[in-house]
Every structure is written in C-alpha cells, then in structure tokens.
Amino acid sequence: MSKKNSSLFCPKCGKTSGNFIQGFCQDCFLEDHDLISIESRLPVEYCTRCLRLKFRGRWVTQTETVLQDLVKGHLKIKQIVEPEIFIELNPLGSGETQTRITVSGILNEEKIRIEKAILLIPKKDHCNACNKMASGYFESILQVRWKEREKGEKIQKKMEDFIKDYLDRESEKDPMSFIAKKSITEYGLDYFLGSKQAARKLSRVLVETFQGELVTSFKLHTQIKNEVKKRLTYCVRI
C-alpha cells in the first residue's frame, strides 16, 4: 500500500519522503514495474491507393481519432484503477508519427501519472476495395438514359457531378462504392460500380432528384454450388 511517511526509506534511491509503494518511493517503483506496455514501434497498415487504415479488421478513413483508438487498442495497463488515457500525435516528415501516451489513475490509493513515447510506423498495403477496383471488378451497372437527347446534353455535366459527389460520400461508409468504368454514349451514361448496394441506392436518388423512371434487369454472373450471383443493371430514364 502507498504511504506518506518520512520514516520510510527507499532502498534504491535513498529517498525518505513522498509517496511510497511496496517499500519503494513512487518514482523507483514505477521505474521497476511496467504498468503500461505497448510496442515502441507500432506498425500501422494503410492502403497506398485510398490511404485508409486497417483498424479492427476493417479499412476505415484515416483520422486522428482512429489513430488514437488504434493506439489504445494495443495499450496494456496493469494495476492502475480508473485509468484516463491521453494520446498526442505528432506526424514526422518521414511518414512516421511520434506518439506520446499519458496514463493517469489510482495506484494503491495514490494518484499517479505515467508517460510513454512510441513511434507509429506506416506499413504499406492495399485494401480489398482498391485491389478489386484495379482489377476492373464491378457488381452492378447504372445506366442513365435521356428521354430527349437535347435535354440530356444540357444536364449531362450536372448529372456526372451529382453521381461523382454521391459516390464520394457513399464511399466513406462503403469502400466498394467506386466507379470501375464509365462510358458516355449518344443515349446517356454508363457506370460500372463496385457495390450493388450503392448502385441500387443511387438509382433511386436519381429518380427522385431528376423525376426519372427506373427499370431493373439482371444477368447471371456466376454460380458456385447452389449459390447464384446476379449482376444487376439499373436503368434510369430522365
């Protein structure tokens, strides 16, 4: 138990005052007991194409909060009651991130504060979505067809910007919401999309926004054992 008693003597440094834990002054006790532990050089997997980080088995957008949570996930704390964790990130020019971890809490009825410095080391990788995009993979086709060609030519640029902005926002939640291929024809626009969910949602948004009509069709893509996979085409007439 920690004690404040001037009659005590720290056998390591000779200190006779202050907080004592198990017969040693608090400073010497903390030096000899690894109450917080983490790799000094912590690898952080990131995709070189989209820059997302691999976090808890998923590829997520890189933010300061995600990096802090990643560090907390690797941090091990022993004996400290009600620990509070503060993490300061300082990116370096080398791509590494200098990280200072501060843990405050209670040990043997005394308040303590421990600091530890580590480096976050970037580890290059490719996420599943980017690998599929690079291979030309797509799950659905979104077709935009003009009812009147002249009217379509006038709104084509607006339509392209709308679709791009929508998919950019959607990709924050669904990394597969990428455009694998795009083509412009005299009849309208064709988008080959990595996510069938994004294609379905986008087609409905286009119908509501531009007062269009939706026709859905499909082709058999693959069949593995008893599972049939279909490739859907969403045609929006505007």
Please report which confidence band the pLDDT of residue 198 belongs to, taking 50, 70 and 90 as the band edges: very high
Tokens of 15: 């200190």
Among the listed residues 230, 233, 146, the one whose alpha carbon sits nearest the alpha carbon of residue 193: 233
**Mean pLDDT, range 77-99, rounded to an integer:** 93
Q: How many C-beta neighbours within 10 Å does residue 235 have?
A: 18
Output the pLDDT for position 228. 52
Distance CA 180, CA 182 (A): 7
pLDDT digits (tens, 9 = 90+) for 216-234: 987 765 555 565 567 899 9
Q: Is 85's pLDDT higher than 80?
A: yes
Output the pLDDT for position 87. 97
Q: Is 2's pLDDT higher than 50?
A: no
The residues spanned by each domain of the chain are: 18-126, 129-237
CA angle, corner 211, sides to 210 and 212, nearest 5? 95
Sequence-ordered alpha helix ranges (H) in the chain: 26-32, 64-74, 128-134, 149-170, 196-210
Q: Report the first-to-last Cα separation within the chain, whole angstroms.
A: 77
Q: Is 48's pLDDT higher than 80?
A: yes
Output the pLDDT for position 223. 52
Please report which confidence band the pLDDT of residue 152 belongs to, taking 50, 70 and 90 as the band edges: confident
Judge contact between 209 and 158, C-beta under 8 A.
no
Please report which confidence band the pLDDT of residue 16 belongs to, taking 50, 70 and 90 as the band edges: confident
Output b/e per residue, 128-147; b: 16+ Cβ within 10 A: ebbebbeeeebbbbbbbbbe
Distance CA 78, CA 112 (A): 13
Q: Is 3's pLDDT higher than 50?
A: no
pTM of the entire structure?
Answer: 0.71
